[in-house]
Amino acid sequence: RHRFWETQPVGQFKDLGDASLPEGPIEAPTPLSDVKPEPYNLPSQYEWTTCDMDDDQTCGEVYSLLTNNYVEDDENMFRFNYSKEFLRWALHPPGYYKAWHIGVRVKASKKLVAFITGVPARIRVRDAIIRMAEINFLCVHKKLRSKRLAPVMIKEVTRRVHLENIWQAAYTAGVILPTPITTCRYWHRSLNPKKLIDVGFSRLGARMTMSRTIRLYKLPESTVTPGFRKMELRDVPAVTRLLRQYLSQFVVAPDFDESDVEHWLLPLENVMDSYLVESPETHEITDFCSFYTLPSSILNNQNYTVLKAAYSYYTVSMKTPLLQLMNDALIVAKQKDYDVFNALDVMYNESFLKELKFGPGDGQLHYYLYNYRIRNALKPSELGLVLL
């Protein structure tokens, strides 16, 4: 059924529920001298290219490929539209490898037609902290689909990751592959219900009018938590401590140090928003929330071209109730003109989704590990990892 994935060191469907299989790496590392030193073969019209995302032209080519060919919803009404600034940021975390930003060009025209990336991360699975690659932005041009290019791209990124002596990876997908460590649901909180209904993102509920719907989703003008403010560079040590402590309770979560927090969580205009609660009395940092900006192109609509979406990232509630913290996040997102606020049912998110008027989406997100077996699938609430 899965000609490619059956050959890879991933949990296989036939092994589900086999209690004799140990948890941990599926294959042992090989000596680096045994890693294939030259790239995999592509069909002869194509060539490999390493994409320097600091180069404006290259970044623009990647942006165009993804804008026109990346992930769509099941009815092809919306397509993810990651911005150039977002792509640059997502691909340049501490210790990144340029060789892991891999493109495929047509030899004759140099047109970029496929892409895949990895970035390094330390991910904890139960007690074990493992160096991994986070794989993302796999894309093959629409005209070159179903030609088995994706397996070659995956093998090539795997080879380049192995060359750095890294043997595990984490990735997410909307499709089912062998085999998810957990399956999450997307939830959506309308901020601009009229536009969402106009573009077909949501529907007017039964026995609902537009004005009742607008009233239903109305939010206060300003945040309510005393001491709620934007995160700053000076907050990195306190936020790192808070986040490390909080993430320690989940089965799978990133192992963030201060340089990771500085990169992944500091606010970056139109990319990352992060807020915290500083106690007005003690000046302690007690809570934290963040969301990233990922617009979607609206395909085939006369009135609108982009949907401005915020995606919940990492949240830590120690003193402020999670419900109130997330409500403040909704309020700032509304102030900043986002149309919708999205969240997965990971970590403690279940506890606020219904009360804050999120509704379940029609999309799922499956989480995977490469070359690492987990004995039983996790519940989404046991997962402390959010990929972009």
Residue numbers at the binding site for ligand NHW (CB under 6 A): 2-5, 69-71, 133, 135-140, 145-151, 154, 157-158, 161, 167-169, 171-173, 175, 177, 370-371
Q: Which of 58, 363, 379, 381 binds ligand EN5 (CB under 6 A)?
A: 363
Would you say 82 and 292 are in contact if contact means Cβ atoms under 8 Å apart?
no
- H-helix segments, the chain: 56-69, 84-90, 149-162, 193-198, 210-216, 236-247, 258-265, 322-335, 350-353
Would you say 353 and 345 are in contact if contact means Cβ atoms under 8 Å apart?
yes
**Contact status: 362 vs ligand EN5 (CB under 6 A):** yes
**Contact status: 202 vs ligand EN5 (CB under 6 A):** yes
**Contact status: 177 vs ligand EN5 (CB under 6 A):** no
Q: Which of 365, 369, 378, 386 binds ligand EN5 (CB under 6 A)?
A: 365
3 binds, among ligand EN5, ligand NHW, none (CB under 5 to 8 A by kind): ligand NHW
- Classify each residue of 139-164 as buried b or exposed e, where b means 16 or more C-beta atoms within 10 Å of its C-beta: bbbeebeeeebbebbbbbbbebbbeb
**Contact status: 292 vs ligand EN5 (CB under 6 A):** no
Q: Choose among 328, 199, 338, 346: nearest CA to 275.
A: 328
For residue 107, the minimal CB distance to ligand NHW (Å) is 19
**Contact status: 288 vs ligand EN5 (CB under 6 A):** no
- Known active-site residue 87: no
For residue 73, the minimal CB distance to ligand EN5 (Å) is 4
**Contact status: 74 vs ligand EN5 (CB under 6 A):** yes
181 binds, among ligand NHW, ligand EN5, none (CB under 5 to 8 A by kind): none
**Contact status: 71 vs ligand EN5 (CB under 6 A):** yes
Which contacts (CB < 8 Å, 24+ apart) does range 361-364 have? 361/185, 361/186, 361/187, 361/188, 362/73, 362/74, 363/73, 363/74, 363/174, 363/185, 363/186, 364/174, 364/183, 364/184, 364/185, 364/186
Could you tell me how many residues of this chain bind ligand EN5 (CB under 6 A)?
21
**Contact status: 188 vs ligand EN5 (CB under 6 A):** yes
For residue 176, the minimal CB distance to ligand NHW (Å) is 9
Rounded to 10 deg, the angle between the 236-247 and 258-265 helix axes is: 100
Which contacts (CB < 8 Å, 24+ apart) does range 205-214 have? none
Q: What is the contact surface with ligand EN5 in residues (CB under 6 A)?
A: 71, 73-75, 77, 136, 172-174, 186, 188, 190, 201-202, 359, 361-363, 365, 387-388
Could you give the residue numbers annotated as active site?
388
